[in-house]
Amino acid sequence: MTTSTGSFSVVGIGPGDPELITRKAERLIGAAPVVAFHAGVRKESHARRIAADLIPADAIEEELRYPVTTGTTDHPGGYVGALAAFYDECETRLAAHLDAGRDVVLLAEGDPLFYGSSMYLVDRFRDRFPVEVVPGIPAFAAATATVPAPLVRQTDVLTVLPGTLPEPELARRLADTDGAVIMKLGRTFPTVRAALAAAGRLEGALYVERASQPEERWLPVAEVDADSVPYFSLIVVPGDSARPASAERMRGRAVWSQTARSEPESMRFGTKPQPAELLVVGLGPGPDGWLTPEASAALGEVEHVVGYAPYVNRVPQRPGLQRHASGNTVEVDRARFALDLALRGERVAVVSGGDAGVFGMAAAVFEAAADPEHPEHATVPVRVLPGVSAVQAVAARAGAPIGADFAVLSLSDRLKPWPVVERRLRAIAEADLVLGVYNPASRSRREQVVEMQKILLEHRSPDTVVVVGRDVGRAEESLTVTTLGLLDTDSIDMKCLLIIGASATRVEPNGIVWTPRWVE
């Protein structure tokens, strides 16, 4: 006789108050032949406590007790291995009921798919059994209601962050958002508080403990005793704390606009401020050790950082620093924005990867400053701070391929027509110069690197040395030494920089690539 399998339901039971359990969750729990729930090490199951009055007296109960939550473990696979083995065991135990035709309801605190342990069993069962997930009220919603404080309004952006992030990354993300929720506190609290301070968001950040439960309490983060923070706690950073004026306007009070609040006092009262010096800063290819002391000092003093988002993200957050990130093809608009800030007397740094003067933002800033439609921009003093360029970084990793005369060219034809690129490639090849190639290929621009290879092979031997540097200076770094004839153009993308040797460039038995300084 064939028995149909049971169904697996994961029900969110909210943050702690049984009255916040949804009617659907209540119905499923009350009819469940098998009720499963997680429990901490040597602790009563919080999930079972919340739903205790709904569990049928004749239901089979499956307590899924974690082998470890924090700290160390003697499992050979470490913490990850111990948890993987635990979920294997949970799968086996619950699958036995499902295979026997018994429906299983798994209780999940808050919402099942919001940092919930139950999601790992959903992953394991979704292709084997009928699976249903019932949403629940997440802890941050209860915490916001406890305060109560509007979390986000109108066009505010909400970011949910785990407190386990490194402090610099947490600070950066807090500075870049309007409203935020920070989960997973406990031992991470001191780091989280430091990140809030660095982001300028400590004032207005609210700590909520055991939201919706009888023991709930809340207070400003700045007043919390770090030694008393339990697991069931989180931090709410209302969007209004980023722009207090917006809250005041909603209440109908007369306040300065956000623009006025950030303007120098002299401008607000009618006198014209002196333009501040605009800095254009090269950040180097990636590692902190390749950032110059001059650039680091400058970034520690400015009030605004402007640039392409991945480069802005590399600047450590600190109190008082405002970040303005944008896309990759709006260089002149970005420069105008920075010049406008500097005109108001604001201290601004425009950042570029590598050296700002090598296919970076320096030229874009000078282009914007020279625009006759905005003559006021020409009054802003501009200073360029050099950085380690990508071609220098790749060359150093390879040895000394640019130890003699060399040329540098961007293969992108976004700002110049391809015939110009082709003419320059031929001239460089005929002059027998080492060539550094920036922007060799992208997802939408694949043919140029193929054409480059063909053009160079008209003038160079297929044995010409080629160095392909990818993500040099970063964790994913790779360096490949090949030849012009064997260059795999399909493997080239925007993360690569190419150095194509001259006829004299050589590769030593140990792999070092160098170009002699003399010409025979």
Among 3-12, 152-161, 235-244, which is the least confidently predicted range?
235-244
Q: Which residue has the higher pLDDT, 264 or 93?
A: 93
pLDDT tier, 71 (very low <50, low <70, confident <90, very high otherwise): low
Of all residues in the chain, what percent carry a pLDDT higher than 90?
77
Q: How many CA atoms lie within 13 A of 160 on its CB side?
A: 9
Q: Which residue has tokens 């293969």?
A: 411
Q: Is the pLDDT of residue 276 over 60?
A: yes
Q: Does the pLDDT of residue 493 top 80, yes or no?
A: yes
Rounded Cα–Cα distance for residues 281 and 303 (Å) = 14
The string of DSSP codes covering 187-229 is GGHHHHHHHHHHTT-STT-EEEESTTSTT-EEEEGGG--GGG-
Q: What is the pLDDT of residue 243?
A: 62
**Which of the four pLDDT bands, split at 50, 70 and 90, describes residue 260?**
very low
Tell me: pLDDT of 337 over 90.
yes
Taking a C-beta distance cutoff of 8 angstroms, is the pair 182, 234 a contact?
yes
Q: Taking Cα atoms as reference points, which of 412, 461, 466, 389 lies closest to residue 435?
A: 466
| Local confidence band at 468 (pLDDT 50, 70, 90 cut-offs) | very high
The stretch 89-118 carries a mean pLDDT of 95
The C-alpha atoms of residue 445 and residue 408 are separated, in whole angstroms, by 19
Instruction: Tell me what pLDDT residue 254 has.
Output: 27
Question: Is a pLDDT exceeding 50 seen at residue 259?
Answer: no
8-136: CATH architecture: 3-Layer(aba) Sandwich (3.40)
- What is the average pLDDT across 142-151? 90
Query: CA-to-CA distance for 305 and 295, rounded, in angstroms?
Result: 12
Pair 309, 321: CB distance under 8 Å: no
Q: Angle formed by the axes of helices 418-430 and 447-457, to 10°?
A: 30
Tens digit of each residue's pLDDT (9 = 90 or more) over 218-252? 999 999 999 889 888 999 999 987 765 444 433 33
What are the sequence ranges of the domains in the chain?
A: 8-136, 141-244, 276-388, 391-514
Helical ranges in 199-325 per DSSP H: 244-250, 258-262, 265-268, 293-299, 309-312
pTM value? 0.70
Question: Domain 276-388 - what CATH class?
Answer: alpha beta
Phi, psi dihedrals of residue 60, rounded to the nearest 5°: -80, 130
- pLDDT at position 253 over 60: no
Contact 347, 380 (CB under 8 A): no
CATH class of the 391-514 domain in this structure: alpha beta
Q: How many alpha carbons fall within 13 Å on the CB side of residue 264?
A: 18
Query: Average pLDDT in the 493-519 region?
Result: 95
Same fold, 8-136 and 141-244: no
Q: How far apart are CA 181 and CA 77, in angstroms?
A: 32
Tell me what percent of the residues of the chain surpass a pLDDT of 70.
Answer: 93
Pair 475, 461: CB distance under 8 Å: no
Give pLDDT tens digits for 289-313.
999 999 999 999 999 999 998 999 9
Q: Distance between CA 237 and CA 239 in Å, rounded?
A: 6
Of the given ranges (139-148, 175-184, 245-254, 273-282), which has the lowest mean pLDDT? 245-254
Instruction: Give strand ranges (E) for 66-157.
Output: 104-108, 131-134
Nearest to residue 513, comparing CAs of 352, 404, 392, 401? 401
Instruction: Give 214 or 2, the one with higher predicted confidence.
Output: 214
Q: Kindly report the average pLDDT of the chain as a whole number.
A: 90
User: Does the domain at residues 141-244 carry the CATH identifier 1.10.645.10?
Assistant: no
**The Cα angle at residue 156 between residues 155 and 160, in degrees rounded to 5:** 140
Q: How many helices (H) and strands (E) does the chain have?
A: 17, 23
**Cα 137 from Cα 16, distance rounded (Å):** 10
What is the CA 84 to chain-centroid distance, rounded?
27
Residue 30 has pLDDT above 70, yes or no: yes
Tens-digit pLDDT profile for residues 165-176: 999 899 989 988
